[in-house]
Chain A
Amino acid sequence: MTPRTRRRLLVMLQHIAIVLFILVMMVPIIWIALAAFKRHVDVYQLKLLFTPVLDNFSRVFAEPYNLGEKLFNSTVVAAVTVLLAIPVATAAAYAFSRFRLRAQTFLLAIILATQFVPAVVIVLPFFVMYRDLGLLDTLTGLIIVNLAIVMPFAIWMIKGFIDGIPIDTEEAALVDGSSRLQVIRNIVLPMAAPGLVTAGIFCFIIAWNEFLFALILTSKDAVTLPVGLALFKAEEGDLWNLMAAAGIIIMVPMFVLALIIRRHFVQGMTMGAVR
């Protein structure tokens, strides 16, 4: 076998391996997606071909599941968290990027470290505090907590973007007579806008999928979608087709958002350790 033939064979084997890999990665998602459209009886019979129904979706939005409420909660919590987090993070990110603060490395390290602290450690004091303050089962409470989670990601991602903006335009504006705040408003923000949007989407995904805090800190009014899924499990036990429908509602927006920012995913998750 000539080296050329051997090489072609190798490439073909690689393609087969890639296809297998994709199958394994995609099949669970596809299977759940299919289940969302099945009747209960089809689920039990493991049918591949079936007549799809949309009942499941209408049922999950009705009593007693009320997914619509939970969808609303998730959206509000995620959106408000992002709306609060991004400006705060941008301010800090700009300062970290353009100024040399004396405590810079220390502060950045702290911010990095909080990202890796297990949520369970933090949730206990939060629970006690919320109970005393009456913040249990409120959207406000959830927003505060989600702020804690997304802030480190937001700061790091936005700082990364601002680092990538050449400083020349700002310096020229300063020389021309702008104040620092004007420079931020007129020059930096427009240029960093794509980065801010990306960071915002990333934080939205994190807040949307957040589970532990929502589980602990809510009971009926402020329940979000992921926890809603858990409630299915407790009450209904085995209505998988309904759970799948709920799952789709949770997943699909995230798929769309993730595809939009896919190029920056790696950088965001690793906090700049890998570009």
Chain B
Amino acid sequence: MRDRTLKYLLVAPAVLVVAATAVWPLFESLRLSTYAGRLSRPDFPQAFVGADQYTWAFFEEPAFWNSVWVTGVYTVVTVVLTTAFALAFALLLAPGGRFRSGVQSLLILPFAMSPALIGVSFRFMFNPEFGLFDAVLTGIIPGIGDINWLADPVWSFWVLVAADVWGWIPFLTLVLIGGLASIPRETQEAAQVDGASGWRVFKDVTVPQLLPVLAVVIILKAIFSLKTFDLVFMLTNGGPGNATQTLSHYVYFNGFKYAEFGYASAVAWLMVIPMLVLTYFYARFVFDRR
């Protein structure tokens, strides 16, 4: 068989799988969003309503905007915190040596925990009666023990943030360690000999060379934060009320608790747009480096 035909045959199954399981549902979702579909009713989907559900979400549904707000703040906060901590730890762990390499291996472990599991764990630890973190924090700052973490709209948000940041720090740290390792040591030594103090070497030579990796880290984390569902479901289930209802959870809620499939699809599609933008920037990094 000639190479020319073979290469298409080799690629075909994968492309088919991706097309069937990812591309098609995307468009099907778009189609569904144009119908006022209530899944529970027998004649699903019902009337064609075009862009009505979109306009309704935008202009008339405060719950939608609540989710947008929650998701937005959540994304910004988690990206900033995770990146900052990951960078600090990466700098601590980068120099190498047996101790630090051993620690790096340990970092894989939290990452192998799925977000759902992390959600459960943090719920356990922030339980106001017997939660570990509750006890520790009460020990450090007395008076704080009165807080019922997950029943308070503000605190439940921060517990969610803490769980997310905790879960993602190991991975981002490893990525940044890789990034730091790829900076040629000679550029840093040259700066030292040229007269730069430790801080200036970092500012003038290390950080500029780290920027591409840092950008990848930030974009990746932003995408993961925007998508987050598992953690929210297990930790707070969007509550109390809808204080921690991210967009993914909002879609889930509307689609499967209220069975409003059409509306849920519409909101889901609205989520796709920022994703595509971020993915575009991410793709630049993946393809540029080849």
Contacts and interface: CB of A to CB of B under 8 A. Distances in A.
Interface stretch (A51-59, A119-127, A192-200): A119-127
Which of A107, A125, A212, A229: most chain B CB closer than 10 A?
A125
Contacts of B178: 266, 274-275
B121 A110 contact: no
A147 B178 CA distance: 29
A129 B124 CA distance: 37
Interface in B220-279: 220, 223, 226-227, 229-230, 233-234, 247-248, 251-252, 255-256, 261, 264-265, 268-269, 271-272, 275-276, 278-279
Contacts of B265: 121, 124-125
Given A112-B282, A124-B29, A180-B6, 6 more contacts: A28-B125, A99-B7, A114-B22, A121-B26, A122-B25, A129-B28
B113 A212 contact: no
B121 A32 contact: yes
A261 to B, nearest CB: 9
Contacts of A211: 114-116, 229-230, 233
Contacts of A151: 14, 17-18, 21
A229 B120 contact: yes
A145 B29 CA distance: 15
Contacts of B271: 118, 120-121
A226 B234 CA distance: 10
Contacts of B192: none
A101 B117 contact: no
B172 to A, nearest CB: 10
Contacts of B261: 124, 128
Interface in A129-162: 129, 144-145, 147-148, 151-152, 155
Given A96-B11, A118-B248, A274 B234 contact: no
Contacts of A111: 14, 18
Interface in B70-121: 89, 92-93, 99-100, 103, 105-118, 120-121
Given A27-B132, A151-B14, A226-B117, A116 B223 contact: yes
Contacts of A180: 1, 3, 6
9 contacts: A26-B110, A28-B110, A95-B10, A95-B11, A99-B7, A124-B264, A125-B265, A251-B112, A262-B108
Interface in B146-182: 166, 169-171, 174-175, 178-179, 182
Contacts of B99: 15, 18
A216 B24 CA distance: 19
Nearest to A260: B108
A1 interface: no
Contact of A124 (B21, B108, B268, B282): B268
Interface in A216-275: 216, 226, 229-230, 233, 240, 243-244, 247, 250-251, 254-255, 257-259, 262, 265-266, 269-275
A12 to B, nearest CB: 12
- By Cβ-Cβ distance, the 7 closest A-B pairs, closest first, are A148-B21, A209-B114, A92-B14, A114-B22, A125-B28, A95-B10, A258-B112
A157 B65 CA distance: 38
Contact of A101 (B7, B92, B93, B233): B7
A32 B135 CA distance: 15
Contact of A112 (B169, B251, B283): B283
A145 B226 CA distance: 21
A182 B256 CA distance: 50
A113 B17 contact: no
A54 to B, nearest CB: 20
B122 A255 contact: no
A259 B230 contact: no
A112 B279 contact: yes
B252 A31 contact: no
